[in-house]
């Protein structure tokens, strides 16, 4: 894999670079957000590892410019000492694909990277184009969602979560199921990020509509019911 590592702490950057290269990867380093943004825009990478707290331009700004302005599809893994739920949600909403709080074990970093690459390589697999439950309709090709003819604007992560729920309609899915299928990790993120995203979805697909589609099954998980 070719990996771009944007990390201003040289000792941390050197540790990550050495470990990744020992696994046979090619690693390009940047020590601030401005240079990192330039490198990410000039070349193709399999994964971008991005620190949040950096001089000049922080990781949130870099991620936003890459994902929302230059529309780069490369998976982004954020690294930071800021590990609260709000920090994680901010990073994910900006376009990051995963979030790993410091300090971390290299084995976990490697597992996260491999999961991102796996998900990226599988993202173009063909399947059905339209999902429909009651008056909720999702177009997997155009990435559009409508309910009762009204367009619902979702972030990329919200879209993936709703897609998973709709593909598993009438089936209760646990938080572990969601982690493995939407975030593609087989370990607990240690936060209530999933609950936060379910609430985001509910506000967007249920507010102003008479029927509630997303149900909570206490102690078990979530389910979308309908035909």
- What pLDDT digit, counting tens, does each position of 162-201 carry? 999 998 888 888 888 888 888 776 556 556 888 899 999 9
Query: Which residues does residue 215 pair with via DSSP β-bridges, in sequence order?
Result: 223
CA–CA dist 206, 63 (Å, integer):
29
Q: Which residue has the tokens 């990867």?
A: 25
CA nearest to 115, candidates 173, 183, 48: 183
Both tokens of 6, joined, read 């944007």
pTM: 0.59
Domain with CATH 1.10.10.10 in the chain: 130-224
**Predicted local confidence at residue 15, as pLDDT:** 93
What is the 8-class DSSP label of residue 182?
I
Q: Which residue has the tokens 């696994």?
A: 23
Q: How far is CA 81 from CA 65, 87, 102, 174, 200, in A?
A: 22, 10, 5, 28, 25
pLDDT at 130 over 60: yes
* Count of residues making up the chain: 227
- Considering only 54-58, 126-130, 156-160, which range has the smallest mean pLDDT? 126-130
CA–CA dist 140, 129 (Å, integer):
5
Q: What is the CATH number of domain 130-224?
A: 1.10.10.10
Report the mean per-residue pLDDT for the chain.
85
Q: What confidence tens digit (pLDDT) does each residue in 52-91 have?
A: 888 889 999 999 888 877 767 789 999 887 766 776 777 7
pLDDT at 222 over 90: yes
Domain with CATH 3.40.50.2300 in the chain: 2-122
Q: What is the CATH number of domain 2-122?
A: 3.40.50.2300
Alpha helix ranges (H) inside 48-192 = 59-64, 85-94, 106-122, 156-167, 175-178
pLDDT at 124 over 50: no
């Amino acid at each position: 894999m070719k990996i771009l590592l944007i990390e201003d702490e040289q000792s941390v950057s050197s540790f990550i670079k050495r470990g990744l290269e020992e696994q046979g990867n090619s690693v390009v380093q940047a020590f601030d957000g401005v240079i990192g943004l330039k490198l990410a825009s000039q070349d193709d990478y399999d994964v971008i590892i991005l620190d949040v707290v950096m001089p000049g331009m922080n990781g949130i700004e870099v991620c936003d410019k890459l994902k929302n302005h230059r529309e780069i599809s490369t998976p982004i893994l954020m690294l930071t000492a800021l590990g609260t739920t709000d920090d994680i949600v901010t990073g994910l909403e900006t376009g990051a694909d995963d979030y790993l709080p410091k300090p971390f074990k290299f084995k976990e970093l490697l597992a996260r990277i491999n999961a991102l690459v796996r998900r990226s390589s599988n993202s173009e697999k063909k399947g059905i184009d339209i999902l429909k439950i009651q008056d909720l309709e999702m177009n997997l090709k155009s990435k559009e969602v409508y309910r009762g003819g009204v367009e619902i604007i979702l972030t990329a992560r919200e879209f993936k979560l709703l897609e998973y729920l709709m593909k598993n309609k009438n089936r209760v899915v646990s938080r572990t199921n969601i982690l493995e299928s939407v975030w593609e990790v087989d370990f607990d993120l240690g936060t209530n990020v999933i609950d936060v995203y379910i609430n985001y979805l509910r506000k967007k697909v249920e507010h102003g509509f008479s029927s509630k589609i997303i149900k909570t099954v206490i102690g078990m998980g979530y389910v979308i019911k309908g035909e």
